[in-house]
Chain A
Amino acid sequence: MAEETPKPVELTDPVEITVDGETVVAQGGDLLIDACERAGTYIPRFCYHPRMRPVGMCRMCLVEVDTGRGPALQPSCMLPVTEGMTVDTRSDTVAKVQDGVLEFLLANHPLDCPVCDKGGECPLQDQTYAYGPGESRYVEEKRHYEKPIAISETVYLDRERCILCDRCTRFADEVAGDPLIHFIDRGSSTQVNTFPDEPFSSYFSGNTVQICPVGALTAKPYRFKARPWDLTEVESTCTRCSVGCRITIESSQDQILRFQGVDSDAVNWGWMCDKGRFGFEAMNSENRLLAPMMRGEDGELTEVRWSDALSGVTSELRRALDGRGPSSVALIGGSRSTNEGAEAWARLAKSVIGTDNCDAQLGDGLPAEAALGLPGLTIDEVCAPGSTVLWMGPDPLETLPVLQIRLRHAVLNDGVRIVEVGPARTGLRSLVAARVPAAPGRLADVVGGLLGGDVADEFAQASEILRSAGDDLRVVVGRANLAESPDTVLAAVGAVRSALPAARFLVALGRGNVRGALEAGLAPGLLPGGIPLSSGELPQGWESIPAEEGHDTTGILSAAAAGRIDVLVLLGADPLTDFPDRSLARRALAAARCVVAVTPLLDASAAGAHIVLPAAGFGEVDGTTTNLEGRVTPVSAKVTIPGTARADRSIAGALASRLGATDSWDSPEDLPGAAESATDGDGPASGPDGDLLVGIDRELPIPSVGDLEVPPTDAYSLRLVVARKLYDRGTMLVESPSSAALAPGSVALLNPADAAPLGVEEGSRIRLISASGSISIPTVPDESVPKGSVLVHHDLEGADPRELVDISDVVCDVRVEVA
C-alpha cells in the first residue's frame, strides 16, 4: 500500500504570543490550539486530535488571529504559532462563529441524546451547552439513514449522528493503517462507511469509538449498558500483552463495562488494541470459577471449601517434600499475575517449599537471563527519530499490537528504518525498509551475514542499512517461530553482540506480565530482582533459597512426563493450549501426581487438574505490572472478586502459612520490594508513564549456545513455522463474546514454488507429517512464506501445529502429502 509521509512539524525556538491579552511563551511550530491549551486556554474542537494530523474539518476551533494585518478568523488546529501572534479566543466574532458552526452541525443531528450512549460525555452536547445556540432555527426534515449499521463485528455506526469530523477515518488510515472506512458519497450526503461486504475488521477498531466526538460509533460490548454518570473509573494497565497500555477501568454496579485508553507518552499514546479493549468480557463470564474444586473419588471435579482445598494442596506438597524432596514440586506461570502476586508465589516456591522449578514462560519465550539481562531499550528508543531497527522478533501486529502502531508512526513520520529478518513476513509489511527471510534454524547465519556485509546482492541494501547504524543498532528480539528452539534466537543474539558489542535490545516477549514475573523470580536459576541463584544471596524476607537449580517449563514438563514431578502448580498457565509441544504437555499433565491450577477460568489444563483454586482476575486486584521494557505501572482493583475466588497473592500467603512460614503475607506491603511500587488503587504512583525499572541495564550471563546443530534439510520436507495470531482459541478470548468469533480457521501457508510440485492449490487439503504426529489442513499459497517453509498459526480452529512439534528438536521438519 502506498504510504503517505506527512510533513514533520518543525520545532523551532520558543516564540511569544498573546492569548486573550496575556503574553504566553509557546514552542515555535506548535499548533495554536495546543499552545493555547498548554497556556490554560481551551479552544473547543471536534476534529482535532493531538495524536493525529490536523485536517480543519469542523471549524469549531476558529479564533481571531492577528499577525499584523488585522484580526482574521483562523482554525487554530491548522495554524502553527509564530512570533508576535495575537489571538483572541473569546471575541464576539468568535462567539458568533462558534454559535454558527454548532447550528450547522446540529442542523442534521438527530438529537437522540436520551437513547445515545455518548449522552453525558458527548463533546457535541457539552460544547453546544457552552458555546451553541439555545434554540434551533432549522425546521426542515433532517437527513435520514438506517439507524446503526454494523461496520464490523464489534463497532456500530449511526450515520445520522455523525458530524463528519474525519477522526475515525483518519485513525483507520493514519494510525492503524487499515483504511477500511472512508467518506462515501461525498457532497450533500457524505457519510462514513465501509465498502459493501468488507467490514472494518481492524485490530484497533475500538479506538474509533473512543475518539468519536459524538455517539455515531458505538461498541457492541458497551452499547446501552450504562450512562456515563453511572460509571466510575480507575486508572490501570492492560496486561493482555506485554506492551502494557495505560487504561482506565470503568464500571457500574460492580461490573466492569469498558476500558478506555489513557495517553501515555512513553507507551500507548492513548490507543489500545481490540483484544485488550474488549478483554474485560472474559472477567464477566458466567463461567468464572467461584469456588475451589477437587477431584473426588468419582474422578469429577467437585466444589469444596477453601480450607479443604488448601489442606489438599498442603498435604500434597508435604507428601512431595517428605518423599522426593523440593525438586519434585514445580510451578509454571505467573505472567498473568501482578508483580506482587508473582513475588508471593516465587517466595512460596523458592523460599518456603525450596524448589527452583519455576518458570513464567511456556516454552514460547527466551531464557530469563536473556529476557532480563540484555542491555535494554525502551519503546521510545526503538521508535526514536532516525533510529535503525533490526527486527528479529514475533509479528508485532499479532502479538504486541500497540507496539505496531508506535512503529508505524516511527517509520512514516520519524524516518525510522526497520530491517525485518525472520521466517515469515510480519504485519509490518510495507513499513519495513528491507525484509530478509531466515529459514528456521538459520537466523544467526543470516544476521551474522547481514552485519558482516557478507550477503547475496538482493540483501545488500538490508545489510547496508544495518551496518550504517553501527553500534547504535536497535534490536528487537523474540520468538517469531514457536516450532524452532529458542537457541536459534540466542545464537542470533550472540551473532549481533559479537559484531556490535554495544548493541541494545528490546526483548519482545508477548505474555502480559512475563517480565514482571521473571523479575519476581519465577524463572529457574533466578531470585527476585534478577539475582542469580548461584550468588547465594538471601532475598529480603526470605528464609532460604533452593539448594539446587531447577528447570524451565520444557524441563519441568519433561520431568513430569518422566514421572519425576509430584506436584505441578499452574499459576494462570495453560500448557495444554500454550506450550508449543502438545504431546509433551499432555504426557506431563497426565503423569504428574497432583496438578494444582490457580486460575479465574477453567482452561483446558485446569479441566484436567486435581485441585482447582479460583483466582481473582484483571480489574479485581491492586498491584503493579511490568511491561516488556521493564516499565512498572499500577494495575487496579475496580470490582469485587466474584464468589470466593481470591487474589493469587493471598492464595500463596495462605499456603505459606499452612506450610509453616511464620510471616503474615496478607497485605502487599509485606512483600519484598512491593512497598515502594504499591499504590492505593487511586491511580498511578508516578504519572501515566510509570517508572522504568531500576537495574534495567543489569548484565546477566546470557546462555551461550555454542555451535547449533541444525539438521540439514531434505528435499522431501518443509520446515515448520508456527506463529501467533491476535485472536486464537485461548480461554480468555473464547470467554469474550465479542472476540470469540474473530479467530480465523487454521490454514497452512506455502510458497507457491513449494505448492506447485505437490499439485496443491488454494483450499486443497494437505497432510503435514512429522516424527511426532500429523495434521490435515487446507492450504493457501503465499509468496511471503520463504521457499522450503510452511507456516501454520498457533491454536486456531481446525488443525493444530502443536501436534507436530517436538520441543527437543532445533527445528521441526514436516513431510507434505496431498490429503
Chain B
Amino acid sequence: MARLNEANEQLARAIIARYPEPRSALIPLCHLAQEQDGWLDEDAMAHVAELIGCTPAQVLGTASFYEMFKLHPVGKYCINVCTNISCQLLGGEELLEHAESRLGVRSGGTTPDGMFTLEDVECVAACTEAPAVQVNYRYFHRVGIEDFDALIDALLAGELDDVVPPHGTLAKVRQDLAADRIANITAPEDQEMPVWIARAEASAGEGAAT
C-alpha cells in the first residue's frame, strides 16, 4: 500500500534515535508500518530500509522470519484457531472446520469484505483453556462452536472494539521514553559501563546519601 506517512516517518526517526545503531530499529519500524496499513507492504519495507540505512532485502530477510508480520493484506481481524494437541483433543479441529464454514474461507484465507483472516496455528500457550482462539493476538478461551459464532457476531457489531483493536495495532510502539532513559545518550564505544549499571550505581549512591 504505502510508505510510512509523515507522522509515522517522524515517529520512526524518533525510534531510530533510541538505538546506537539505526539498524536496531528494524523490527519496531516494521511494527509501525504494519500498524499503519494492517500489514507489511513492500513499499513500507523499502521505506524502512531507507530510514535505517540497509537494503530492502535485509528488511525482508528479517520481517519474513516473523509469523506476526503479515507480508500480504489480511483482514481487520486475524483469527487464529489453535489445533495443537491440547486444543485438538478438546475440539480444536472441529472448531477450525466450523470457522471455515462460518467465514466461508479456508484457513489462510481472508473474507471478501476484508473483515476476517482465518489461520490455524500451533500451540499459543493457552493449553489449560483449550480450545484456544486468538483475535489479533487477544485470547478467547474454551471456545465452543456457539461461542465462536457469538464472537464473530460481536466483532461484526463492533461490540469488542475496546478489547480488540484492528490488526497491526501495537500499543508498545508508541511508548515514549523520557529523554534520560533513552539508551542512545552515549555511543557504545564511549560507554564506560552499561547504562543500567551506571544508573543502578547512581541511584544506590543517592540512596546511601539520604
Contact = CB atoms under 8 A, between A and B. Distances in A.
Interface of A: 1-2, 178-187, 193-198
A195 B42 contact: yes
A interface: dominant SS: loop
Given A2-B22, A195-B42, A182 B53 contact: no
B196 interface: no
B57 A195 contact: yes
Contacts of B65: 185-187
B53 A2 contact: yes
A182 B57 CA distance: 6
A179 B64 contact: no
B53 A1 contact: yes
Contact of B55 (A179, A186, A193): A179
Closest 10 CB pairs of A and B: A182-B61, A195-B56, A186-B65, A182-B57, A195-B57, A185-B64, A184-B64, A1-B53, A179-B55, A2-B23
Given A2-B22, A195-B42, A186 B61 contact: yes
A187 B65 CA distance: 7
Nearest to A187: B65
Q: Which of B21, B23, B45, B57 has the most CB of A within 10 A?
A: B57
Nearest to B52: A2
B145 interface: no
B173 interface: no
Contacts of A182: 55, 57-58, 60-61
A184 B71 CA distance: 12
7 contacts: A1-B53, A2-B54, A178-B55, A180-B55, A182-B61, A185-B65, A195-B59
B135 to A, nearest CB: 24
A180 B57 contact: yes
B46 interface: yes
B57 A179 contact: yes
Interface in B26-72: 42, 45-46, 52-61, 64-65
B63 to A, nearest CB: 9
A691 to B, nearest CB: 41
Contact of B45 (A187, A194, A195): A195
Contact of A2 (B21, B46, B56): B21
Contacts of B53: 1-2
Contacts of B55: 1, 178-180, 182, 195, 198
Nearest to B67: A187
Nearest to B22: A2
A186 B58 contact: no
Nearest to B63: A184
A742 to B, nearest CB: 19
Given A195-B42, A195-B46, A195-B55, A184 B61 contact: yes
A1 B64 contact: no
Contacts of A183: 61
A181 B64 contact: no
Contacts of A193: 57, 60
Q: Which of A1, A183, A195, A198 has the most CB of B within 10 A?
A: A195
Contacts of B54: 1-2, 179
Contacts of B61: 182-184, 186
Nearest to A184: B64
A184 B22 contact: no
Given A2-B54, A179-B55, A195 B23 contact: no
Interface in B10-25: 21-23
A433 B60 CA distance: 30
A283 B62 CA distance: 43
